[in-house]
Chain A
Amino acid sequence: MSEYNVIEIHNLSKIFYDFWGRAKVRALDDLSFHVKQGEIFGLLGPNGSGKSTTIKILLGLLFPTFGKVSVFGSPARNVSHKQKIGFLPEESYLYPYQNAEEALTFYGRLFNLPHKVCQQRVDNLLEMVGLTRVRKRLLKEYSKGMARRIGIAQALINDPQLIILDEPTSGLDPIGTREIKDVILQLKEHGKTVLLCSHLLADVEDLCDRVTILYGGKQACEGQIGELLSNQEVTQVVSERLPSDKLEKLKDWFEKENIALHSVGNPTERLESFFLKTIEKARNEQKDAHGADAGRRVEGLFTDVEKTPEKDVGAKVLDSLVKKKETRESEEDNKEESEEIKSANQADTSSKGSSEGTKVIANLLKIEKPVPEVGKKEKDPSEPPKNNEVLSKLLKKNSGDEEENEK
């Protein structure tokens, strides 16, 4: 991760005025944060906290009332730096009368991409988001999830350096969510900076390096996600299944040592991994579906047909993807794959749920598993469990409800 700040926001305030010039709403109040190159930065907060306003200011859709905003070192309204930005809005604001291919070509042409490059990227992105088969269908006939996939594809059409994602997984099914999360991790792996704005705390927890939490337009807290979530007061030990007599001994030992034991039992499987396994089973039995396919990692996603030195940046993404794939392919055979699926199906600890889920889906969909935890720390069983409750508590805490937090 570079120390270069892709986004810098200093003392940003945004006030909305009414027709007569009277201040009606202070959407942002003295907000300051920065996003480093190559990191996934989460922007969290309840409804009306100012997340979308911040994103709109970053994109020049709104102008700051006070404060300074810079993206790639230049003011947010500068048009030229938008060449390096990909944006996925809260809803996929696509033209209903275009089909998927036309929509992506249109956005590609807005970046002045050469025709051949544009066509290749459109093909690759459609394959990546699993919409190749319905590329000629009008977007107004798409489901919300399919429209979301096209939205994500258009955000990546220019091989952006900074990707701003506003609720990227809203409207997606768990498989789609997993795929998008994998794509985000792939992007990070290739040095892209991601600003992620989401209500889904599990997504943020799985993906983000750092987060800032907004409440009422003000910054409630900011920091490394690991630091914010670690609970130093509790220790968790995960072991293979213990017989009841050994379990009793263990309880006695805790009692003898005067250590408070909060819970003992079998951890439950995460719904996400359970769902993915069920779908895998169903897919094996039922061959065809009419909507979107499962997405794929696409070789040469950002490879330009006519390479220029600048475009080679995009080509690197491809190169690294291809190399990794080839290496792994030579190492893995079908037997190993089936074993992995089996082991993934058996793995059911909640702390490993996310990573195992990734393995499962990667095998199910026969896609490249995007390196178990790309840009993400391998979860240590001794590490306290990360769960959404912690982030929820944080939100509550920072919204001023201190009493409840102490409880």
Chain B
Amino acid sequence: MRDLTAISHKIVQEAVRMRTPVVLLIFVIGMIPLMPFVLRDDGTLRGQLQLILNYSVILTVTLLSLQSIYLTIHSFTGEIKYKHFFLIDAKPVARWKFLVGKFLGLAWINLVSLTILGTVILVALYLGYSQGSASEKKQIRHELLTSYRGVKPYFDEERFQKLVEAEYKSMTEENRLAQDKTVLQIRGEIRLRTRQQMNMVPLSFQRRWLFQGIPTYLRKMESSYLKLRYKTYCSNMSYQFQCNEKWDIGSGGSVYSESNARTVNEFHEIIIPVSVIEDDGSVIVAFTNYDEAAGIVYFPVEDGMEVLYPQNNFLSNFLKAFFLLFLVLSFLVFLALFASTFLTFPIAILFVMYFLVLGMLADFLLEFAPLGAEILTKNKDTLWSIFYQKTLSVAFGVFPNFSEYVLTGHLSNGRLIEWSSIAKGTFILFLFKGGLLILFGCFIFNRREVGKPTL
């Protein structure tokens, strides 16, 4: 065990003597007070704090990712290049211990860096919060310093499928099917259209949504509340158009009603009393469109309506988010160690950076993968398009989608980071994928002739 700690201690020593973490800490800490002057917010203190939180966390994870990659590869390949490793390999230290020791040292550096930077960010947030007026503080407490769990409206998939099938049948009978598209593509279009129709509210119509699974114990907590979070579009495309809305939330004797004019194409939140929660934990939400100027009102499918209920305080959410960041950084260290077992300094850096960028853009790339297949194959399901899509799905299955673990949006929007995300990060990202990388790394490194003369 002393050999492992010696190797891990040595890389910490190396990093400290190189002053990399110190420079990074000074840079991030120096940037935080500048952010309010650099970033544009919505003019409220809450908006300012949200931006500071968002950007400082993004800055932290970006710089720490780069530091992890650089330190790992520089240290490892340097050991081989400058032959320091000759002296270690001549000692009774198995090569896997060398890799694991390096990982432990780098994990320690990341843990300490995250702790320091996390503390600085928290202090900055609470300092900003303490400067606000009473109403601003209340807003910040509700919208930033409380984490909420969201519930999506109940969706009857069976009924929806029947509607899609009926539409497809009717189009076939009426010979309205597009000739240049495949059956799958046509069905996909029908599904999207039907889904949009279900979220459409014509003038003088009311649409209802059922939300289930809201904890009933909230009714006993007088200070507690629910939030309805939504976004609307309407036929009127005027800039900053405000739509008159009428909301009736709840049923029977306990209904909360509200009428207000709100800007379309923006997210809004309505605070709802907990008394609207039914005995079975459901809440019925009804929207009435009575604004003639608005025309048809749409609720987007992607950023759909949600009922949010408070679950935790900000601090625990913040700790979870930083733990996930630690897992992402650890994975990058695993990847960098793996690359260093068979690549030299600049190549290994490029290799890991490639996967870092790929992991960061995974959402975007996955979204456009089908489009790429269509362009590639001219809208036909050929062998090439299937190969293209399968390859992409395998690639994204093997390499992690970092946006699943870098949850800055959850922090600034007060969304609860679920334990399932932590479990996924721990078991899939860290133990499984990271473990596989280090195993492959050990396998390769154990077979490497480090004493080979290099030109």
- Residues in B with CB closer than 8 Å to A82 are 90-93
Task: Decide if B14 touches A56 in the complex (CB within 8 Å).
Answer: no
Task: Decide if B449 touches A61 in the complex (CB within 8 Å).
Answer: yes
Bound-state CA distance A93–B84 (Å) is 5
Task: Decide if A61 touches B86 in the complex (CB within 8 Å).
Answer: yes
Q: Does A89 contact B (CB under 8 A)?
A: yes
- Residues in B with CB closer than 8 Å to A89 are 83, 86-87, 90
Q: Tell me the chain A residues, 86-104 only, with Cβ under 8 Å from chain B.
A: 87, 89, 91, 93-95, 97-98, 102
- Interface bin, chain A: 20 to 34
Q: Tell me the chain B residues, 2-34 only, with Cβ under 8 Å from chain A.
A: 2-3, 5-7, 9-10, 13-14, 17-18
Task: Decide if B91 touches A93 in the complex (CB within 8 Å).
Answer: no
Q: Does B304 contact A (CB under 8 A)?
A: no
- Residues in A with CB closer than 8 Å to B89 are 59-61
- Residues in A with CB closer than 8 Å to B83 are 89, 91, 93
Number of A-B contacts (CB under 8 A): 84
Closest A-chain residue to B450, C-beta based?
Answer: A61
For A70-81 the 0/1 string (1 means CB < 8 A from B) is 000000000111
For B181-196 the 0/1 string (1 means CB < 8 A from A) is 0000000000000000
Bound-state CA distance A87–B451 (Å) is 14
Q: Tell me the chain A residues, 120-136 only, with Cβ under 8 Å from chain B.
A: none
Bound-state CA distance A97–B17 (Å) is 7
Q: Does A33 contact B (CB under 8 A)?
A: no
CB within 8 A of B3: which of A85, A97, A110? A110
Closest B-chain residue to A14, C-beta based?
Answer: B449
Asked whether A102 and B92 contact (CB < 8 A) given A87-B87, A109-B6, the answer is: no
Task: Decide if A93 touches B13 in the complex (CB within 8 Å).
Answer: no
Task: Decide if B91 touches A98 in the complex (CB within 8 Å).
Answer: no
Interface of B is mostly: helix
- Residues in B with CB closer than 8 Å to A94 are 84, 87
Task: Decide if A154 touches B450 in the complex (CB within 8 Å).
Answer: no
User: Counting chain B CB atoms within 10 Å of each CB, which of A63, A87, A95, A154 scores highest?
Assistant: A95
B443 to chain A, nearest CB (A): 15
Asked whether A98 and B88 contact (CB < 8 A) given A79-B93, A109-B6, the answer is: no
Q: Does A107 contact B (CB under 8 A)?
A: yes
Q: Tell me the chain A residues, 258-303 only, with Cβ under 8 Å from chain B.
A: none
A58 to chain B, nearest CB (A): 9
Q: Does B82 contact A (CB under 8 A)?
A: yes
- Residues in B with CB closer than 8 Å to A79 are 92-94
Task: Decide if B13 touches A98 in the complex (CB within 8 Å).
Answer: yes
Q: Does A111 contact B (CB under 8 A)?
A: yes
A398 to chain B, nearest CB (A): 24
Asked whether A95 and B84 contact (CB < 8 A) given A79-B92, A82-B91, the answer is: yes
Q: Does B452 contact A (CB under 8 A)?
A: yes
Q: Does B253 contact A (CB under 8 A)?
A: no
Q: Does A236 contact B (CB under 8 A)?
A: no
- Residues in B with CB closer than 8 Å to A60 are 89
Q: Tell me the chain B residues, 49-104 only, with Cβ under 8 Å from chain A.
A: 82-84, 86-94
Asked whether A111 and B5 contact (CB < 8 A) given A97-B17, A106-B10, A154-B87, the answer is: no
Q: Does B453 contact A (CB under 8 A)?
A: yes
Task: Decide if B92 touches A111 in the complex (CB within 8 Å).
Answer: yes
Q: Tell me the chain B residues, 401-455 only, with Cβ under 8 Å from chain A.
A: 449-453
The 8 closest A-B pairs by CB, nearest first: A61-B451, A109-B6, A56-B451, A97-B17, A87-B90, A110-B91, A82-B92, A93-B83
Interface on B for A, CB 8 Å cutoff?
Answer: 1-3, 5-7, 9-10, 13-14, 17-18, 82-84, 86-94, 449-453
Interface on A for B, CB 8 Å cutoff?
Answer: 16, 53, 56, 59-63, 79-83, 85, 87, 89, 91, 93-95, 97-98, 102, 106-107, 109-113, 154, 158, 164
| Other contacts beyond A89-B83, A111-B92: 12, CB < 8 A | A56-B451, A61-B90, A61-B450, A79-B93, A83-B92, A85-B90, A87-B90, A93-B84, A93-B86, A106-B10, A111-B91, A158-B91
